[in-house]
Amino acid sequence: MNGKLRRPLIAGNWKMYKTGAEGADFVAALAAQLGSNPGCQVVVAPTFAGLYQAVAAAAGSAVEVAAQDVFWEREGAYTGEVSPGMLTSLGVTSVVIGHSERRQYFGETDENVAKKVRAALDAGLAPIMCVGETEYQRDEGQTEHVLSTQVPSGLSLVDPSEAARLAIAYEPVWAIGTGKTATPAMAQQAISFCRRELAATLGGAAADRVRILYGGSVKPDNVDEIMAQADIDGALVGGASLDLASFVRIVKFERS
Ligand code: PGA
C-alpha cells in the first residue's frame, strides 16, 4: 500500500488558544467553507474547555473534534484530569497524545503515552501519537535512536488489528512554532524510518495502515510539497490552524 491509499488527515492543534465561543465560530465557518466532502479527514483540537462548543458547531459537518490530551483511568480521584469516556460522551472522536509540549513542560513519559494510547483505543477514541527529536538530539545524530524508542514504547500496548485507528505525528521539536520546517525530504526520511519501526513493532501489514503525519511549522506555502512525500499521510498544524483562511488552504492541499 502506498501513502496515497491511506486517507489523508489534516489536524489543527489549537494549543491554549481560542475560547469556546471563538472555537465554535471558527468551526462553523470552517465547516461552511469545506462543505460535505473536503477530500480528507479534517480535525480540530481545542482546549478541554472548548470541546463542547466545538462539537456542537461541528454537528452534521465534515469537521471532527479532537482533544489535546487524555488520562488513562476511567474515573477516580485525579484532580484536573479528563478520562477517555468523558471525551467520547461529548462527541470527541480522536485525541492527541504525547505532544512534545506535554513531554517538555508537563513530564509526559513514553510509559504514560502507552497507557493513554491504550485507554483511548479502549474507549473508541482514535489516538494521534506524537513523536520527534529535539534540536540537540538531531545535532547529535540521535534522531533515529529517539524515534526507535518513542514509536515502539508508545505502541507497546497496541494490537496490530488496531492499526487503522491509529495515527502518528512526527514532529521534530525544533520545527514546532519556530518557523523552521524540516525540508520535505527530511520529513519523508524520518517518517519512512517511523514506518519501518512500526513494521518492526506491529508487523508490515499493520504498519501500512497507520497514518503518519508531519508536524512543525506547516503552512499554506509548504503543505503541498510536504503532502507530496510518499510516506506522509497528513499534517498536524499548530500556529497556521488558528487562522481560518490559512487552515482552509492547508486542508485543500494540492493532490499530486
Ligand atoms: P506549529 O505546531 O505548526 O505551530 O509548528 C505544530 C504542533 O505543535 O503540533
* pLDDT tens figures, 88-128: 999 999 999 999 999 999 999 999 999 999 999 999 999 99
In a domain, 59, yes or no: yes
- Tell me the residue ranges of DSSP E strands in 143-182: 167-170
pLDDT at 5: 80
Query: Domain with 124 in it: what CATH number?
Result: 3.20.20.70
pLDDT for position 177: 83
Classify residue 256: in a domain, yes or no: no
pTM of the model: 0.96
Pocket of ligand 1 (CB under 6 A): 13, 171, 176-177, 215-218, 236-240
The rounded percent of the chain whose pLDDT value lies above 90 is 94
Q: Which of 14, 105, 176, 236 has most ligand 1 atoms within 8 Å of CB, for mutation? A: 176
201, part of any domain: yes
Classify residue 165 as exposed, middle or buried by CB count within 10 Å of its CB (0-12, 13-18, 19+): middle
Ligand 1 atom closest to residue 169's alpha carbon, by position in its atom list:
9
List, in order, residues 6 or more apart from 120 with CB less than 8 Å away.
70, 84, 95, 97, 126, 127
Judge whether 139 lies within some domain.
Answer: yes
pLDDT of 184: 93
Give tens-digit pLDDT for 66-92: 999 999 999 999 999 999 999 999 999
Under 8 Å CB-to-CB from 140, ≥6 apart: which residues?
none
Rounded mean pLDDT, 142-155: 97
Nearest CA to ligand 1 atom 1: 238
12 C-alpha to ligand 1 centroid (Å): 9
**Is 30 a member of any domain?**
yes
Residue 178: is its pLDDT beyond 70? yes
Hey, which residues are catalytic here?
Answer: 99, 171
**Contacts (Cβ under 8 Å, ≥6 apart) of 208:** 1, 195
Number of H helices, E strands in the chain: 11, 8
Q: Which of 102, 213, 217 to mutate to test the pocket of ligand 1 (most atoms within 8 A of CB)?
A: 217
Q: Which domain holds residue 125?
A: 3-251
Name every residue whose Cβ is closer than 8 Å to that of residue 37 and which is 6 or more positions away in sequence.
Answer: 62
pLDDT at 256: 72
181 pLDDT higher than 90: no
Here the cell at position 160 is 496490530
Is pLDDT of 3 > 50? no
Counted domains in the chain: 1
Q: Which residue type is seen at 62?
A: A
Average pLDDT, the chain: 96
pLDDT at position 230 over 80: yes
The answer as to whether 8 is a domain residue is yes
Separation of alpha carbons 218 and 169, rounded Å: 12
Ligand 1 atom 9 nearest Cα: 238
